[in-house]
Amino acid sequence: MFGKEKCVQARRMQRRPLKALRVCFLRNGDRHYAGLNMAISRTHNKDFQALMEQVTESMRRHVVLRSAIKKILHLDGTPLKSVSCIGEGDILICCCQYEEMIRIEYTVNKDFQKQRELQTRCDERRIYGDTLENVKPTDLPETIRQQLKHLQPLMQTPRTVIFRGYRRCNGTKRVVKMVNKQYMDYNLDDPYLEVEVLRLLRSHPNIVEMMYSLKDERHLYMVMEYMEWDVDEVIQVYGPMSAVNARKVMKDVSAGLKHMQEMELIHRDIKPANMLMRYSTETGVEAVKITDFGMAVFYKGSKLRSCCGTPGFMAPEMIAERGYDYQVDAWSLGASLFHVLYERLPYADDYTTLDEIYAAILSGGPNYPEEMIKDTDPEAKDLIEGLLVRKPNNRLTIDEVLKHPFVDQ
At 71-87, the pLDDT tens digits run: 999 988 888 888 878 88
Q: What CATH number was assigned to the domain covering residues 230-403?
A: 1.10.510.10
Q: Is the pLDDT at 70 greater than 60, yes or no?
A: yes
Closest CA to 43 of 83, 82, 6: 83
Strand order in the sheet with 284-290: 229-230, 275-280, 284-290
Q: Which residues contact 22 (CB under 8 A, 6 or more apart)?
A: 37, 38, 39, 88, 89, 112, 115, 116, 119
Looking at residue 127, its pLDDT comes to 46
Percentage above 70 pLDDT, the chain: 88
Looking at residue 320, its pLDDT comes to 85
Q: Which residues contact 279 (CB under 8 A, 6 or more apart)?
A: 228, 229, 234, 285, 286
Percentage above 90 pLDDT, the chain: 57
* pLDDT classification of 180: cutoffs 50, 70, 90: confident
Closest CA to 24 of 32, 34, 33, 36: 36
Tell me what the mean pLDDT of segment 176-205 comes to. 82
Superfamily of domain 137-225: Phosphorylase Kinase; domain 1 (3.30.200.20)
Q: Is 269 a catalytic residue?
A: yes
Range with top average pLDDT, 49-53, 89-93, 163-167, 359-363? 163-167
Question: Among the listed ranges 117-126, 182-191, 244-253, 264-273, which one has the minimum average pLDDT value?
Answer: 117-126
| 8 Å CB contact between 137 and 145 | yes
Looking at residue 369, its pLDDT comes to 85
Whole-structure pTM value: 0.69
| 8 Å CB contact between 22 and 89 | yes
Q: Is the pLDDT at 210 greater than 60, yes or no?
A: yes
Backbone angles phi, psi at 130, to 5 degrees: -85, 60
Instruction: Give me the amino acid identity at 331.
Output: W
What CATH class is the domain 3-128? alpha beta
Residue of 269, 292, 382, 399 with catalytic role: 269
Looking at residue 87, its pLDDT comes to 81
Tell me what the mean pLDDT of segment 99-113 comes to. 86
| 8 Å CB contact between 326 and 299 | yes
**pLDDT higher for 120 or 327?**
327
| 8 Å CB contact between 376 and 366 | no
Question: Among the listed ranges 11-15, 165-169, 173-177, 226-230, which one has the minimum average pLDDT value?
Answer: 11-15
Q: Do domains 3-128 and 137-225 have the same CATH topology?
A: no
H or E stretch at 304? none
**pLDDT higher for 146 or 39?**
146
Q: Could you give the angle at which helices 327-342 and 231-238 cross, rounded to 10 degrees? A: 20
* pLDDT classification of 358: cutoffs 50, 70, 90: confident
Instruction: Give me the amino acid identity at 231.
Output: V
**pLDDT higher for 119 or 238?**
238
Closest CA to 345 of 288, 392, 289, 384: 384
Closest CA to 313 of 348, 341, 289: 348
Looking at residue 257, its pLDDT comes to 98
Looking at residue 14, its pLDDT comes to 36
| 8 Å CB contact between 127 and 183 | yes
| Domains of the chain, residue spans | 3-128, 137-225, 230-403
DSSP 3-state assignment of 258?
helix
**pLDDT higher for 365 or 141?**
141
Looking at residue 203, its pLDDT comes to 93
* pLDDT classification of 9: cutoffs 50, 70, 90: very low
Closest CA to 397 of 383, 387, 382: 387
Question: Among the listed ranges 26-30, 257-261, 278-282, which one has the minimum average pLDDT value?
Answer: 278-282
H or E stretch at 161? strand 160-167
Q: Is the pLDDT at 333 greater than 90, yes or no?
A: yes
Q: Is the pLDDT at 275 greater than 70, yes or no?
A: yes
What are the angstrom distances between the C-alpha of 30 and each of 66, 105, 361? 13, 9, 31
* pLDDT classification of 158: cutoffs 50, 70, 90: confident
Tell me what the mean pLDDT of segment 103-128 comes to. 69
Backbone angles phi, psi at 197, to 5 degrees: -65, -45
